[in-house]
Structure 1
């Protein structure tokens, strides 16, 4: 066993010597400097970190994003089809107006002046002292009831009239048309110059609604984000820009 181990060790040593001699023979510079002492300068060069410098590639700058806004025909920028919702909303507002108007009429015609009779020795609660038939209470209930119904109807109709169904960029790219919902399922169309509208938010940051301000118009025109932007890039460079319109 010891003889076999001795033969294996000698064979390995011979192979190592042969490979080392071949390496030194092929690299004479290394063979000449193996026996020389290592200086501090050489150690500093070995320990010095290597810095890779990458030269920027030429002619790789991305071209400017160019969108042709001078369209040859009308282009739909935005579309939101949900007429059922607005029909239900208008019916709700109309029903509320009828209900509160009837309540107003009922209060004006039914409430009678009936003075409260005080019982000697007994103090009445504050609500028992109120005479609803008195003119100030009767007229107040009548007016408030009518205003509530009228306010609900106006709010539903204004919201409907400011909800954009289609946003269309007109031929030439200088005007934009707002097609909005209307009461009784009738659309309304309004064409204004692009310079007279301003988007209050960008398409990427808007969550539920994207308001658009139109010059000399009260309130905002609203784009529901559940709708479809048919030409998002063209929208961003036309109607989606924020301008100073005031």
Structure 2
């Protein structure tokens, strides 16, 4: 009887081991079966590599736009007003200040002892006013000339056109090869202005980040790349 009892215990143990092995095998197969789905979900979260972006466009494609003519019109009117004001002050300083010797009374404040009609003060004030006048006018013109209104990728994907603001609503056009364009900052990290460096042009062209990137992916792989420009 003891032998029969031992045989029954061994059979039960073998049955339990077999069920455990079958359960683990089934679990492992289900996990392996799910792996492709998990892997595919992870892969789809990544963007396509750059070689899959077709930059050889069949027609001109608008990449960026920032149409704000009202602001630049106000800027031009302001700069011309400041230019007129400071040039008038320069004319007044040069023609109206008289050479009158200052009093030597020690009780007077220091500024009452300055003879503004003396040549060094008269010419100095005139040049300072002219410098401010032309500085404001030049800065406003330079800011306008370097602000990009439209950025267009030309047909074939080899050239790019920058449409910038001109004086009083007019537009200026610049077309260059893509290999002469370098974006100095990432589109995602730029907060206010995105600088574009163009070979052969002084200073940067600026893209206002309040504008619209109409084709951001194509921009990132054409004009948005940082290139080494000698």
- Short-chain TM bin: 0.7 to 0.9
RMSD of equivalent CA atoms:
2.7
1:108 matched residue in structure 2:
94
1:199 matched residue in structure 2:
183
Query: Which structure 2 residues correspond to residues 154-169 of structure 1 after superposition, within 5 A?
Result: 154-169=138-153
Give a deviation string over 1:181-220, Cα, whole Å, max 9, x none: 1111110000011011100111111111111011121111
Query: Which structure 2 residues correspond to residues 191-230 of structure 1 after superposition, within 5 A?
Result: 191-230=175-214
Structure with the greater alpha carbon radius of gyration: 1
Q: CA deviation at 1:57?
A: 3.8
Indicate the SS of the match to 2:163. strand
Query: Which structure 2 residues correspond to residues 34-53 of structure 1 after superposition, within 5 A?
Result: none
How many residues are treated as equivalent by the alignment? 202
Indicate the SS of the match to 2:182. strand
Indicate the SS of the match to 1:165. strand
2:226 matched residue in structure 1:
242
TM-score by length of 1: 0.75
| Match status 1:144 vs 2:160 | no
Instruction: Structure 2 unaligned segments of length 5 or more: list them.
Output: 1-8, 17-27
2:74 matched residue in structure 1:
88
1:128 matched residue in structure 2:
112
Query: Which structure 2 residues correspond to residues 68-79 of structure 1 after superposition, within 5 A?
Result: 68-79=54-65
Q: Distance in 1 between matches of 2:14 and 2:54?
A: 72
2:154 matched residue in structure 1:
170
Instruction: Structure 1 unaligned segments of length 5 or more: list them.
Output: 1-26, 35-51
1:13 matched residue in structure 2:
none
Q: Distance in 2 between matches of 1:32 and 1:183?
A: 93
2:23 matched residue in structure 1:
none
Give a deviation string over 1:80-124, Cα, whole Å, max 9, x none: 1110011101111111001000010011110010011324xx444
Indicate the SS of the match to 2:160. strand
Q: Distance in 1 between matches of 2:129 and 2:72?
A: 24
Indicate the SS of the match to 1:147. helix
Q: CA deviation at 1:129?
A: 1.8
2:85 to 54, 75, 99: 99
Q: CA deviation at 1:155?
A: 0.5
Q: Would you identify which runs of 4 or more consecutive aligned residues in structure 1 move more than 6 Å?
A: 31-34
Indicate the SS of the match to 1:213. strand
Indicate the SS of the match to 1:243. coil
2:25 matched residue in structure 1:
none
Indicate the SS of the match to 1:245. coil
* Structure 1 residues 86 and 33: CA distance shift in structure 2, 3 A: closer
1:67 to 53, 73, 77: 53
Indicate the SS of the match to 1:155. helix
